[in-house]
Structure 1
Amino acid sequence: MTYSKTWQGFYELLDTVYRTGRPFAARALPIRLGDEEADRAIDLLYQPLRDGEGAVTGIFVGGYDVTEQVRSQAALRDSEDRYRTLLDSLDVGFCILEMKFDEADRAIDYRIAEANPAFARQTGADVAGLWVSEFAPDLERHWFDTYGRVALTGEPIHFENQADVFGRWFDVRALRIGEPAQAKVAVFFSDISDRKRMEEALRVLNASLEAQVAERTAERDQIWQASTDLFCVATLDGRLASLNPAWTTLLGWGEGELLGRPFLDFVHPDDVAATTAAAAGLARGEPQPNFENRYRHRDGSYRWLSWNAVPRNGRIYATVRDVTAVRAQAAALAEVEEALRQSQKMEAVGQLTGGVAHDFNNLLTIIRSSVDFLRRPELPEARKRRYLDAVSDTVDRAAKLTGQLLAFARRQALSPAVFDVGEKVRGVADMVDTVTGARVRVVVAVPDHPCFVRADLSQFETALINMAVNARDAMDGEGTLTLTLTCGTAMPPIRGHAGSQNAFAAISLADTGPGVPPDLIGRIFEPFFTTKEVGRGTGLGLSQVFGFAKQSGGDVDVTSSPGRGATFTLYLPEAPAALEADDRSAAAASVSPIGAGESVLVVEDNIEVGRFCTQILQDLGYRTTWATNAEEALERLGPDGAGFDVVFSDVVMPGMGGLALAHELRRRMPTLPVVLASGYSHVLAQDDAHGFELLHKPYSAEQLGHILRRVTRPGRPRRTA
């Protein structure tokens, strides 16, 4: 025989045993026998031989070939390692039960002999090694009969059950391991509390001792064959090395058609990139839980598979579930949800249309009746003034109604400015005190330091008043209303919309009323939705708050507890302090609406509005020229303005709109003032007035005169023909 280099100390050991007289044993030495190409594992025993006087006269060397035993143990360790890896990687609970029977073969108890980590996670208890009577003494009798029958008959079982011990639903599969005399039962269970879906995992059972190798192999084959889920072992370069029969059942491919093939050969082309990235992660040692892709069936169709894969010892171990049905259900649910959204949208449109028609018909009735009476020549002067006031007031109410509608739809043209929100809240509190009445106590809590936002001040004040009126009505006119300002706060998620960690000013109005019923809290911002009796509200107040908040980059939230009142919180993004105060409103109030013969180019495509506007301007002392579209206006202005002092243009017109005309005039004649008028424009709703003067329709003659007088006031450069 020859010896490997590792054991060339053979003769030194002989000398040591001879000198010391002590025996020596060596375990599994690699020794080359004859012309064999590989070493064999040999156990060697060095035993000193002594004469009658005890002196060492020789050494007995015995050699025992243990190669097969060593190989079996190595295979067992590898098998056990694979088994433990699979056991730990799967998200399916698994345990082995050892049954205890009485003399009548009636199961009276069982012990959790072995369990994987998922067992502890799903049950919430670490009971491995315990008898069930120790941790669940009141367990129902049918559990002992169920698992006992599996152990005695060898017939596997599958059922769904709501476990009283753990309070969840499980999909359970149980089968016997080995012979009846062993009384062992393997149990697989999946937590199906959410969707009650089956999930049976694959476990590879291997023995820990050489004598149990064959038994472990049989156990593994039983589970391997019984599993409805797919299990595979693959190389790190993505080639399939081992598969269970479920692959053929699900995908139609025979084992021989898959083994050795790269699994990318079967992946849907659209999923190749993502699958390659996942495979690269596994090669780097990163587990890939719940990764989904489409795998080709033998008939050419594709199935959606969900992979739980872990790298271990140079291999990839994966359990795979078919989620095609789940994907289909999700798609069907999405279709149903979309249909529901469309239905809700149409319902909202119908509700909105009905509300608008009802309110506007009421307003038009007042105007129509007043005009009819004003046509009577014998009408007394006092009654004439009363009808004129009714028409004017009704127009204001109609304008407010359209403004609220546009605010809810986030389509009103805002005039944003930077202001200290705390200062404005204090100012609005006085108005709120007047609106709510003497029996409502108003409390204001505002920090001393300034807090700036950029928003439309008029809409902001209107929003606070609307919330205050809503609170007053909820308290039936008596209680406490608390206005609180918090600066630098994050905006939380509201009604399913993501929040923001940026700095927001949060203005809260809390009342002491009965609160908002839980079944109505999701509808209070809908237009025309109101719980008030007929005649006490249009249902547009809170919808204006909602639209203003969203269009200003914020949101509005409501919290309420029955009997404890409600709190409405308006979130507006904070802004840097304004460099200088905006004094345009003060300037506008200081000028007269009467003109001094200034030349105005009116651009209006509507014939009735154009005639009426030019008549108003002439009555106010202006000289007017009327163009029916932007193109005609540019032609009349020519290259130098043709002597016009100001251009007054509608925004929404066919062809070139008023805003585009204003930009073109700013480019050509930057000193020529431009005033825009609009009842609604989606462009203005998105980006305010772009720096131009804006007059909202319906406007009064006085409002028109004020703004024209301001932009043409003395001190501005005059244009000449």
Structure 2
Amino acid sequence: MNTRRSERALILAPRGRDATIASAMLREAGIVAEACPSLPALVDAFQDGVGLVMITEEVLATADTAPLAMWLARQEEWSDLPFILLTRRGGGLERNPSAARYLGLLGNVTFLERPFHPTTLISLAQAGLRGRRRQYDARGRLEELRESADRYRTLFDSIDAGFCIIEMIFDGDRPVDYRFCEVNPAFVRQTGLDQALGKRMREIAPAHEQHWYDLYGGVARTGEPIRFENPADALGRWYDVYAFRVGEPAAHRVAVLFNDISARRRVEQELRELTASLEQRVEEATGEREVALAQLHEAQKLETLGQLTGGVAHDFNNLLTPITGVLDLLQRRYGKDDDRAERLIGGALESAERARVLVQRLLGFARRQALQTQALDLAGLLDGMRDLIASSVGATVEVRLRVGKDLPAALADPNQLELAILNLCVNARDAMPNGGVLTVAAEPAALGPGDVPQVKPGLYVRLSVIDSGVGMNEAVLSRAIEPFYSTKEVGKGTGLGLSMVHGLASQLGGGFRITSAVGQGTRIDLWLPIASERAADHRTPSEEPAQTVRPLSILLVDDEQLVRTATAEMLRELGHSVVEAGNGADALARLPKQAIDVVVTDYKMPRMDGAELAKRVREIRPELPLLLITGYTGPADEAPDLPRLDKPFRRADLAAAIERLVDPPRNVVYLQSRSKDG
């Protein structure tokens, strides 16, 4: 190794991985780097030559720095060993009170704040080595200067650092001025003082501050060199200044060597800004992560409730089916002859209907009901609901229907949408205890990206329910669609209305939004997808259907005996003969032995479900009509092409479904329907 011009970088960072990482970065940049285990080992390594030292603030804070200070004090006048000090608090006194002490100890030091960028480290290291090379150059030229005055002049004129020799002028012990004895071209370039040679500073700059005279006067008197960085001047330039006494003490001459470090200071400022920006980005990312975790937690809660709801819906509807069916038969047989029986049975049927609606609301919230969508004339549906809405909200509420012109057909489940609209209207009524105005509006709407969260841009039909009621505060509004959350009195609501509507809109591929303020009413908007087909007719069967179908032989398949018995009794009441089977295998065994006109089968059954049974029946008799009855099939229905009747159902619903099987109307699409009371 060339000890005369060593450019070796010595690294003292015994804690952590700073030494390993920094060594790798410097070597990759072509700089020879060597890690030292301790401060004494570092000082010993100086004897073999050193171009740059990288040291951590922790070492200086804990180790005995006397050997290092002694070596630095004894280095030759040309030498000003460059240091890079790794710190966590930067190099400014406002953030790092120890910075002044480190500057006084190390002299030529650049503060590098952790975490540092590789580019910044390499840039500072290369700048330090460039300065070290200039010191080597200065050393060689100073040696030549001792041999020849001409060579001294060459050195003086050629170095890149600004260099001048000044003679201090004292008034007693007080320095009052100084004269420029020597200046080099770099001095002229960096200061702009092209006629300073031989002149006094007060001639050139009468307002020059006294502390500069005191500073250089102290060097002239004591012989103690000083090192400092002067603040930025009017042009924003920073200088690294090194002053030391030259010649005989009585001559009071001081050599001043300075470099323009404006670029380095800019790098340090950029590093501080980068660090601050990094901290801000970390805080923002942490905040976004916390929000995402909260959303995930809410989604998991909703998914768990949805799974529970879907699991119990089938069994619950199976329980309701025989109850509803038998009550329907009892009311038909005995209600007309016994007013008390009719009242009691009617009350029981009303309770069963409320239970059915509750299950639908739960499934709507959980987005797990099997929607039967069609192209829907929303204007016609709202017009048909006018009287129902008016009677539901009462005489103190004025109902206004506003439907836009040329309203396109919406893609929706008419029954579920009717239930959603009625729920919203009843909620609006409750928000207007002293009466008010209820507006139900429908109009085409175009959504752009991000207009409604989680809704794709495109064309929609917007259905709005607007009331002039009391409105909601921020706390209530933030929880409005939570399941089972309600501001009504106990027994006045389930807290599932808005949850069901929100779930319905999402399952349809549309959007949902609540806008409200205290004292300013509430507006609820539903965005429904536009259908690609024309709107289909939608009708409900009458409570007492006329017998328009000939008596049929029906194979009824259901693993629940109570459900099977009630359904068979309703079919017999309609004039049909019924062959009962408790499972799919039993049904397939009976099919060749009986003259069957229609197969009515449950969906969820052990071993062979309704979809598999339908597939096997079609292999035997492809023309045989099939009707699927189900408590809950869910969104993953494996038999989407089968006509379906949802449990619980009443005699009128069953009659209408059988009629559509054997005598379907032409050019009319029917989906699951129900009677007004069942």
Structure-1 residue corresponding to 2:630: 678
The normalised TM-score by structure 1 is 0.50
Q: 1:515·1:563 contact (CA, 8 Å) conserved in 2?
A: yes
Q: 1:651·1:659 contact (CA, 8 Å) conserved in 2?
A: yes
CA distance in structure 2 between the aligned counterparts of 1:463 and 1:515, rounded to whole angstroms: 19
Structure-1 residue corresponding to 2:76: none
Shift in alpha-carbon separation, 1:451–1:221, aligned structure 2, 3 A: closer
Cα displacement (A) at 1:664: 4.3
Give the alignment partner of residue 449 of structure 1, picking from 406, 410, 416.
406
Amino acid at match of 2:349: S
CA distance in structure 1 between the aligned counterparts of 2:445 and 2:292, rounded to whole angstroms: 41
Shift in alpha-carbon separation, 1:493–1:439, aligned structure 2, 3 A: farther
CA distance in structure 1 between the aligned counterparts of 2:468 and 2:632, rounded to whole angstroms: 38
Structure-1 residue corresponding to 2:364: 407
Q: In terms of mean alpha carbon deviation, does 215-224 or 641-650 score higher?
A: 215-224
Shift in alpha-carbon separation, 1:676–1:636, aligned structure 2, 3 A: same
Q: 2:87·2:112 contact (CA, 8 Å) conserved in 1?
A: no
Shift in alpha-carbon separation, 1:222–1:467, aligned structure 2, 3 A: same
Cα displacement (A) at 1:340: 5.0
Cα displacement (A) at 1:425: 3.1
Give the alignment partner of residue 650 of structure 1, picking from 596, 602, 606.
602
Give the alignment partner of residue 558 of structure 1, picking from 514, 526, 531.
514
Shift in alpha-carbon separation, 1:339–1:667, aligned structure 2, 3 A: same
Q: 1:422·1:450 contact (CA, 8 Å) conserved in 2?
A: yes
Kindly indicate whether residue 498 of structure 2 is the aligned counterpart of residue 542 of structure 1.
yes
Q: 1:178·1:184 contact (CA, 8 Å) conserved in 2?
A: no
SS in 2 for 1:519: helix
Residue pairs, 1:405-484, within 5 angstroms: 405-484=362-441
The normalised TM-score by structure 2 is 0.53
CA shift digits 1:339-366 (9 cap, x unpaired) = 955995699699999x99xx99xx99x9
Kindly indicate whether residue 470 of structure 2 is the aligned counterpart of residue 520 of structure 1.
no
Cα displacement (A) at 1:224: 13
Cα displacement (A) at 1:394: 1.4
Amino acid at match of 1:541: G
Shift in alpha-carbon separation, 1:449–1:324, aligned structure 2, 3 A: closer
Q: 2:306·2:368 contact (CA, 8 Å) conserved in 1?
A: no
Amino acid at match of 1:694: R
Amino acid at match of 1:456: D
Amino acid at match of 1:581: A
Structure-2 residue corresponding to 1:708: 658
Structure-1 residue corresponding to 2:644: 694
Kindly indicate whether residue 156 of structure 2 is the aligned counterpart of residue 202 of structure 1.
no
Comparing both chains, which one has the higher relative contact order based on Cα–Cα distances under 8 Å and sequence gaps of 6 or more?
A: 2
Q: 1:229·1:321 contact (CA, 8 Å) conserved in 2?
A: no
Cα displacement (A) at 1:413: 2.5
CA distance in structure 2 between the aligned counterparts of 1:699 and 1:587, rounded to whole angstroms: 12
Cα displacement (A) at 1:483: 2.3
CA distance in structure 2 between the aligned counterparts of 1:493 and 1:321, rounded to whole angstroms: 28
Q: Percent identity?
A: 28
Cα RMSD, aligned residues only: 5.7
Amino acid at match of 2:579: T
Structure-1 residue corresponding to 2:565: 611
Cα displacement (A) at 1:548: 1.5
Amino acid at match of 1:509: V
SS in 2 for 1:600: strand
Shift in alpha-carbon separation, 1:227–1:489, aligned structure 2, 3 A: closer
Residue pairs, 1:52-131, within 5 angstroms: none
CA distance in structure 2 between the aligned counterparts of 1:346 and 1:498, rounded to whole angstroms: 17
Task: Extract unaligned runs of 5+ from structure 2.
Answer: 1-83, 132-158, 163-185, 187-238, 241-257, 667-678
Cα displacement (A) at 1:647: 0.3
Task: Extract unaligned runs of 5+ from structure 1.
Answer: 1-153, 161-169, 191-196, 231-289, 291-305, 307-318, 717-721
CA distance in structure 1 between the aligned counterparts of 2:339 and 2:546, rounded to whole angstroms: 28
CA distance in structure 2 between the aligned counterparts of 1:456 and 1:667, rounded to whole angstroms: 32
Amino acid at match of 1:600: I
Amino acid at match of 1:432: I
Kindly indicate whether residue 457 of structure 2 is the aligned counterpart of residue 504 of structure 1.
no
SS in 1 for 2:476: coil
Give the alignment partner of residue 443 of structure 2, picking from 467, 486, 491.
486
Cα displacement (A) at 1:335: 11
Give the alignment partner of residue 591 of structure 2, picking from 604, 618, 637.
637
Structure-2 residue corresponding to 1:620: 574
Cα displacement (A) at 1:445: 2.8
Structure-2 residue corresponding to 1:211: 161
Q: 2:510·2:529 contact (CA, 8 Å) conserved in 1?
A: yes
Q: In terms of mean alpha carbon deviation, does 170-179 or 461-470 score higher?
A: 170-179
Amino acid at match of 1:620: L
CA shift digits 1:17-72 (9 cap, x unpaired) = xxxxxxxxxxxxxxxxxxxxxxxxxxxxxxxxxxxxxxxxxxxxxxxxxxxxxxxx
SS in 1 for 2:478: coil
CA distance in structure 2 between the aligned counterparts of 1:545 and 1:320, rounded to whole angstroms: 44
Cα displacement (A) at 1:570: 0.7
Shift in alpha-carbon separation, 1:492–1:548, aligned structure 2, 3 A: farther
Structure-2 residue corresponding to 1:661: 613
Amino acid at match of 2:646: H
Cα displacement (A) at 1:655: 2.1
Structure-2 residue corresponding to 1:253: none
CA shift digits 1:560-608 (9 cap, x unpaired) = 2222121100111111232x7346x468889535864411001111122
Give the alignment partner of residue 581 of structure 1, picking from 524, 529, 536.
536
CA shift digits 1:50-104 (9 cap, x unpaired) = xxxxxxxxxxxxxxxxxxxxxxxxxxxxxxxxxxxxxxxxxxxxxxxxxxxxxxx
Shift in alpha-carbon separation, 1:545–1:184, aligned structure 2, 3 A: farther
Amino acid at match of 1:661: L
CA distance in structure 1 between the aligned counterparts of 2:525 and 2:664, rounded to whole angstroms: 46
CA shift digits 1:307-330 (9 cap, x unpaired) = xxxxxxxxxxxx998999999979
Q: How many aligned positions are there?
A: 440
